[in-house]
Chain A
Amino acid sequence: MLYLLLLIIYSSSVFAQGDTSIAREAIYNRPFIGGNTGNMASGGYAEGNTNYFATDGVSEGFSMELRRFNLFLYSPVTSHIKFLSELEFEHGTEEINIETAMIDFRIFPDFSFRGGILLTPVGDFNINHDSPKWDMINRPLAATDIVPSTLSEVGFGIFGNLFPWNARITYYLYLLNGLGENVIHNEEGKTLLRAGKSGEMLGEDNNGVPMGNARISINFPLLGELGISWYGGAYNTFKKDGLDIDKKRNLHLGSLYYQREFFQRVTLNGEVSRVWIDVPAEAGENYGNRQWGYFLDMIFAVKKGKMGRLENARLNIFMRSEFVDFNEGKFILSREHKFDELYALSGGISFFPIPGTVLRMNYRWHWEYDLPGNLSRTGGFQVGLASYF
């Protein structure tokens, strides 16, 4: 935590003079990327926090965690070719991933080709998930347990921006290796798209049929940004050595998001996502074939602008409401409602001394129902730091 604090103080003094206001695609909207041409740039972000939680009166006590330490490399190879990569260390070296390693070829001003390890544009959070941009310490449940953020996959596709009627339309169309069959029969005992992520899929698809992904969003300066996306395709291994071993099973993930700032004070940011998945009947009723979830962040800027020597600081209070239903529907035998649901409310204060550096304090409470509907309640406090460098 001390290291992280020093890092934030150092990086804040560097970026305090920088311009981070250039409107760009979320993955290029990072402070270390200064302009469109030049030499290779490196950067990254780090985030850490404290936890003090209890479930039904039982607490594991106070602990600290270094959630992520991510390194970026960016190179505008030419004015038409850009390279971006991100190496992620989670909880020290517990998990190390290449989250992004992609090359963009701009063919026309509003049409580019992209290939490599890509962040899948499903919803908005997945491609805009850097912790220093967010007021809350925890990622939204709907964006981790329904949309399996961070979802990065090998693939290629096209993307671009159009600017009709004073609006900005952004589109993406990708083909990707997709998720594997651990979306069921995983260690959590429920349908979980994030369990279908696998390092092996960076080398080879498990079924030879890529998944598709499309997103379109429209941003009107006065009305905010609305985006809709789809991700889907076959997830299971249905053929091996030329022999049929299962039927082809598809999953589909749809997501809708909306963001808008009102009166330059209040920001709304919400995302709702739904999963449709062909779960084999023999897997059992623990595995839902439909899931959905949402989150809604409401952020109020208490003070922003100059604060002492800080030229562009911001103090926010915020609240998040979220819900996830892992298993929609009823039990076949008893026709009773299947629960496996989670509701959460969080709130807190965040302070951005500069854009890209945040100190935040959260209070969180969630209600978790197991499959039969037995309730457990968890609540707690978190204090955290996150910063780009």
Chain B
Amino acid sequence: MVYFRTINAWVGLALLLALSSCEKFLPPDPGGENVLEGPLDGLTPSQNNQFLKGDALFSKIYTPQEGLGPIFIQNSCVGCHTVGGKGIPANLVTRFAFKNGNNYDYLLEEGGPQHQTNAISNYSTELIPEKANVFTKRLPPAVTGFGYIAAIHDSLILSWEDSSDTNSDGISGRASYVIPRNNFTPQLIHIERDGKYLARFGKKASKIRLIDQVAFALKEDIGITNDFEPYDLYNYKTGVQSVDAIADPEVTSAVLQNLVFYLRTLKSPPRRNENDPDVLAGEQLFSAIGCISCHRPSFKTAKSDIEQLSEKEFAPYSDFLLHDMGAGLDDGFTEGAATSFEWRTAPLWGIGLASSSQGGKKYFLHDGRASSIEEAVSYHGGEAASRKNAFLKLSPEDKEKVVKFVESL
């Protein structure tokens, strides 16, 4: 009887524990405003389900049996874009080309434009062709808020365009118009110019649509072929057609679409401390010294098939135009319509949470060379030189306020 009473006591204790507020003893929610990842608020249950499918694919680790490689950089999306944020210097990717005068040959027939540093078992990694003479290194970007960026009408971005600096403010942003892929079908948000379309994704704004970016990354980063990029990577030193053993495309169109849906429905990076007096003062200074000429806060999405992205105001702190950033940031590499010294204005939203995906450290700019916001500003040149100088002339207290404001984004 004692034995049974003991068992009853245990079961009772277990139930009591289950019924009591166990949550007090569990790791707390850090709060939505402190994390980059998460879905848009207000998605329907079926949209949440779709989001989770994409989330699982984004976290999925590919194996050689599933098509990884044969040469690759990472074995998953999340390997570079940890918790949806920016990567770390260990994940820098290298792109290369052969520059002859003003002409760039991306060496597509010799493994270009991206260097795959890793390979599956019994295969050798890519060697950069000896012919290559220009190289650039890129930090993996944050992916949160992509849905908003994808839903901007071209006309809104073009309204900021001023390539001839007609308003004489020293800023001459120009839209990045590129030739679309063969399968491109324009949507209502797109405005054509001489057979070209406005590109808004990528550090040099070379991709028109999110799906172009995802398909490129699947192939060039993971070695996963798909409907948009159906031919496998291989090491030209090993021999052409020395591909892996998996039939192409290695993922279905559903995988591609679910990944795109996931990226579209990731929430925008949350603001923090936005009512802090120093942050509010910093916001005023940010505007007063002209940072806002490129890092623009006011955007509104066009109509979207996803209600939560339809005609919504948001603040990316970018104009999605190309700007001359000067010799200090000239990486010697062109992409899309951008010259080597031109960069798409980096959206500043989420910059205050960058360290949450970078192991508590901070790596800013396209190659992670800056470890603080002040240092990142100090690399600004070209069109941004006057704004940088204005920032540097601020008192230490005012600089601190501007930094606090930027960190609140």
A→B interface (CB under 8 Å): 5, 9, 12, 50, 52-59, 62, 181, 184-189, 236-237, 245-246, 280-286, 307-310, 331-334, 336, 338-339, 351, 353, 359, 361, 363, 365, 369-374, 377-381, 383
Whole-angstrom distance from the CB of A61 to the nearest CB of chain B? 11
Q: Is the CB of A185 within 8 A of B121?
A: yes
Distance, CA A351 to CA B345, complexed state (A): 64
Please tell me which stretch of B39-47, B151-159, B351-359 contacts chain A, meaning at least 4 of its Cβ atoms lie within 8 angstroms of it.
Answer: B351-359
**From A56, A185, A310, A374, contact of B357 by CB (8 A):** A374
Bound-state CA distance A363–B122 (Å) is 44
> Other CB < 8 Å A-B pairs besides A309-B1, A334-B88, A381-B17, 10 of them?
A55-B27, A57-B26, A187-B61, A284-B72, A284-B117, A284-B118, A286-B79, A372-B82, A377-B27, A378-B27
For A310, the chain B residues whose CB sits under 8 A away are 2-3, 6
Q: What is B's interface to A at a CB cutoff of 8 Å?
A: 1-7, 10, 13-14, 17-18, 22-23, 25-30, 61, 63-64, 68, 72-76, 79, 82-83, 87-90, 92, 117-125, 356-361
B89 contacts A333, C-beta separation under 8 Å: yes
B82 touches A282 (CB 8 A): no
Q: Which residue of A lies closest to B356 (CB)?
A: A374
In the assembly, what is the distance between CA of A333 and CA of B30, in Å? 32
Interchain CA distance A185-B124 in the complex, whole Å = 15
Q: For B22, what are the chain A residues with a Cβ–Cβ distance below 8 Å?
A: 52, 380-381
A-B contact count (CB 8 A): 145
B123 touches A282 (CB 8 A): yes
Instruction: Check A54 against B118 for contact (C-beta < 8 Å).
Output: no
Nearest-CB distance from B378 to chain A (Å)? Answer: 21
State in angstroms the CA–CA spacing of A285 and B92 once bound together: 12
Whether the Cβ atoms of A361 and B27 lie closer than 8 Å is: no
B64 lies within 8 A of A185 (CB):
yes
Contact B10 A54 (CB under 8 A): no
Q: Given A361-B13, A373-B360, does the pair A186, B30 have CB atoms closer than 8 Å?
A: no
Q: Given the complex of chains A and B, what is the CA–CA distance between A338 and B13 in angstroms?
A: 42
Which of A57, A62, A353 is close to B27, meaning CB atoms less than 8 Å apart?
A: A57
Are A373 and B90 in contact (CB-based, < 8 A)? no
CB pair A59–B26 under 8 Å, yes or no, is: yes
Ranked 9 nearest A-B pairs via Cβ? A57-B29, A308-B2, A373-B359, A284-B118, A377-B27, A331-B90, A189-B61, A372-B359, A282-B119
A56/B27 in contact, CB under 8 A: yes
Given the complex, which residues of A lie within 8 Å of B79, measured CB to CB? 189, 286, 371
User: Which residues on A sit within 8 Å (CB–CB) of B361?
Assistant: 336, 373
A369 to B360, CA, bound (A): 11
Are B26 and A12 in contact, CB atoms less than 8 angstroms apart? no
Q: Which residues of B contact A379 (CB under 8 A)?
A: 25-27
Complex Cα spacing A185 to B72, Å: 12
What residues of chain B lie closer than 8 Å to A353, measured between beta carbons? 3, 6
Whether A282 contacts B124 in the complex (CB less than 8 A), given A374-B82, A379-B27, comes out as yes
Most buried by A among B83, B117, B359: B359
27 pairs, CB–CB < 8 Å, chain A vs chain B: A54-B23, A55-B27, A185-B68, A187-B61, A237-B122, A282-B119, A284-B117, A285-B90, A308-B3, A308-B5, A309-B1, A309-B2, A310-B3, A333-B89, A339-B359, A351-B6, A361-B10, A361-B14, A365-B27, A371-B79, A371-B90, A373-B361, A374-B356, A379-B26, A380-B26, A381-B17, A383-B10
B121 and A359 form a contact (CB under 8 A)? no
Chain A residues whose CB sits within 8 angstroms of the CB of B357 once the complex forms: 372, 374
Q: How far is the CA of A189 from the CA of B59 in the complex (A)?
A: 11
Which residue of chain B is the closest to A188 with respect to CB atoms?
A: B61
- Known interface pairs A57-B27, A286-B75, A383-B17. Does A9 touch B90 (Cβ–Cβ under 8 Å)? no
B90 and A336 form a contact (CB under 8 A): yes
Q: Chain A residues near B359: list those with CB within 8 A.
A: 336, 339, 369, 372-374
Give Cα A167–Cα B268 distance, bound, in whole angstroms: 67
Say yes or no: B76 contacts A189, CB within 8 Å: yes
A176 to chain B, nearest CB (A): 22
* Alpha-carbon gap, A59 to B63, bound state (A): 29
Instruction: Tell me if A363 and B121 are in contact (CB < 8 A).
Output: no
- Judging by beta carbons under 8 Å apart, are A236 and B121 in contact? yes
Give bound CA distance, A188 to B62, whole Å.
Answer: 9
Cβ contact of A57, chosen from B17, B30, B82, cutoff 8 A: B30
> Which of the residues B17, B26, B92 comes within 8 Å of A333, measured between beta carbons?
B92
Query: Whole-angstrom distance between the alpha carbons of A361 and B7 in the complex?
Result: 12
- Judge whether A336 and B89 touch: CB under 8 Å: yes
CB distance from B286 to the nearest CB of A (A): 28
Complex: how many Å from CA A29 to CA B380?
72
Q: Which residues of B contact A246 (CB under 8 A)?
A: 121-122
Q: A181-B121, A280-B121 are in contact. Are A58 and B82 (CB under 8 A)?
A: no
Contact of A184 among B1, B25, B90, B121 (CB under 8 A): B121
Bound-state Cα–Cα, A379 to B25, Å: 8
Q: Are A336 and B63 in contact (CB under 8 A)?
A: no
Q: State the CA gap A285–B99 with chains docked (Å).
A: 31
The complex places the Cα of A245 from the Cα of B117 at a distance, in Å, of 20
Closest to B35 in A: A56
| CB atoms of A351 and B10 under 8 A apart | yes
Inter-chain CA distance A54–B28, complex, in Å, is 9
- Rounded to whole Å, the gap between the CB of B238 and the closest CB of chain A is 12
From B18, B121, B356, A283 is in contact (CB under 8 Å) with B121
Q: Are A309 and B29 in contact (CB-based, < 8 A)?
A: no
Distance in Å from the Cβ of A310 to the closest Cβ of chain B?
6
Q: Is the CB of A372 within 8 A of B10?
A: no
Chain B residues within 8 Å of A378, by CB? 27
**B27 and A309 form a contact (CB under 8 A):** no
Chain B residue nearest in CB terms to A370: B82
Are A282 and B83 within 8 A (Cβ)? no
How many angstroms from the CA of A380 to the CA of B18 in the assembled complex?
Answer: 11
Contacting residues, chain A, for B4 (C-beta < 8 A): 9
**What are the residues of chain B within 8 A of A187 when measuring CB–CB?**
61, 63
Residues A52 and B30 in contact in the complex (CB < 8 Å), given A353-B3, A373-B360: no
A211 to B122, CA, bound (A): 21
Measured in the bound complex, the distance between the Cα atoms of B17 and A218 in whole Å is 43
A9 in contact with B7 (CB, 8 Å): yes
Contacts of B18 in A (CB 8 A): 50, 52, 62, 381
Chain A residues whose C-beta falls within 8 Å of the C-beta of B64 in the assembled complex:
185
Q: Provide the residues of chain B in CB contact with A59, threshold 8 Å.
A: 23, 26
Complex Cα–Cα for A74 and B5 (A): 34
Which chain A positions have C-beta within 8 A of B63? 185-187
Pair B118/A336 contact, Cβ less than 8 Å: no
Q: Please tell me if the beta carbons of B88 and A245 are within 8 angstroms of each other in the complex.
A: no
Among B3, B7, B74, B88, the residue within 8 A (CB) of A309 is B3
In the complex the two chains form, what is the Cα distance from A56 to B14 in whole Å?
A: 23
Task: Determine how close the nearest CB of chain A comes to the CB of B389; give it in whole angstroms.
Answer: 31
How many Å lie between the Cα of A331 and that of B28 in the bound state?
Answer: 31
In whole Å, how far is A183's beta carbon from the nearest beta carbon of chain B?
Answer: 10
Which B residues are CB-close (under 8 A) to A58? Answer: 29
A245–B1 CA distance with the chains assembled, in angstroms: 67
Complex Cα distance A378/B13, Å? 23
Residue of B5, B22, B89, B124 contacting most chain A CB atoms (<10 Å): B22
> With the chains together, A185 CA to B22 CA distance in Å?
38
Q: Please, which residues of chain A bring their CB within 8 A of the CB of B72?
A: 284
